[in-house]
Structure 1
Amino acid sequence: MEAPRRSFVRTLLLSTAWMSGVSGMKRLHLSAELIPSAEGNEGLLSIQPSDYPALSQSGGSIRLGFNPIRSNHQPDGTLQPLLINRLEDGTLKAMSAECPHGSCAVRTYSTGSQSHVCPCHASRFRLDGSRISGPAPFGLETYPSEEQPDGSLHVLVPRLRFTLSTQVVDLGQSQRLRLTFAARRKVSYEVVRRRQINEPWERVAFAGSEQGALSQTELDGEGLLASVYVEAPDHQGLFAVRILPKEY
């Protein structure tokens, strides 16, 4: 199932801020004021499949998590991991890694057993997520996904959405942009920027205080509001805070 392209664009822009220079003055625009809010609580995950060798061939499978996976095979937090598989027809499919029986995280697809296996109660699922056997009452939940012209894959993930508030901070000789958001516990974040709307995102360093050194590239959430500070030397650019998924 594919979501309309507009849904992906709207979700992406919800957590961004735009800074531009007009007649020597710096003006801040909140994208949430310009773009209608997406319905639901989905957030956009964008990955480059070429970064994952397993996805280069049919039957390839990766499991990406936002919270670490505990020894009981459940996430140490509120966000469930997801699976991305390369199907036999060459397309990519994204789905929840949460077993519908007991919420354990199922393992990546095994070409040996021809299945995903739940480590808790041995439910088994096909490459496309449909149920094979075990106590799970049905298959794995499919997430809307869309392959992009640049080769990336966009996935709408439940409960991943968050909002971003912004403020220009005047430091006298310079200005910084403060980005504030609710940072979930044990979830990692990065800040990215692009100078123009049609340019690729680039990771930027940020500071943890108004006048701190711009030396951080990742922030680990503690379940509290977090603020980071960035600079735009030419007073323009589109900034975003992104959740960093990791292979577990």
Structure 2
Amino acid sequence: MEEKAAPHPKGCVHLVGAGPGDPELLTLKAARLITSAEVVVYDNLVGKAILELIPATARRVYAGKEAGNHALPQDEINQLLVDLARQGLRVVRLKGGDPFIFGRGGEEMQALQAAGFCCEIVPGITAAAGAGASTGIPLTHREHAQTLVFATGHLKDDTVDLDWDALTRPNQTVVIYMGLGALDIICQQLIAHGLPAHTPAAVIHGATTPAQCAVYSSIAGLPAAVREAGLKPPALIMIGQVVGVGDARLQAASTPAMSGTQFA
């Protein structure tokens, strides 16, 4: 039986959640680690104002992933973190939102642990929570949503073959990350699997940042509304009766014609 490598006396990587973009939503621990780091490996979704907290003396490594354009493949990111830990540096792996919610933090933690290095996880406000707060959409509500589901619209094999039956259950809120490129398919499949076409829905771009904007519609009308508004990633798809709770224009959630664009 192969023995695991002994932990390095110094090497430790902090997987830090940078939150949805607003630097004031960082945890105190996240801010402290960022400002004392010797190396920061950061993602595309980390807000510019948060990157400004990195010390001028620290080495910066961009490891962002955009649709069809990955600065570093995931295996190379994993190996980079191991190599930096081996050097005994103060390493921060800075990830948008929360490291363990569609951030591949679990894969990076496993790689570090397998190599014998410690890995500290620092949670961050996930994009769904930030988008809900900044738009007035409550993710849960006693009258409208007793269940909250997070799903990713971009699977490892580039498919969007989700558990459609689970996503169309009543009295729940569904938040889909990284799904804008497959929005037409997602909406079509949800309706085909029983979700009423007039179900309220929204797409929120750049939540909590100065670039934030949102499109509101029924699930049937959402793709056309998003195209008309010209929304681009990063964006979240929110689906459920709660979408109408925080916006007076959407209180009549049962009307299929519901649509609109709101800019923050």
User: When you count helix as a share of all residues, which structure comes out higher?
Assistant: 2
TM-score, L = length of structure 2:
0.24
TM-score by structure 1 length? 0.25
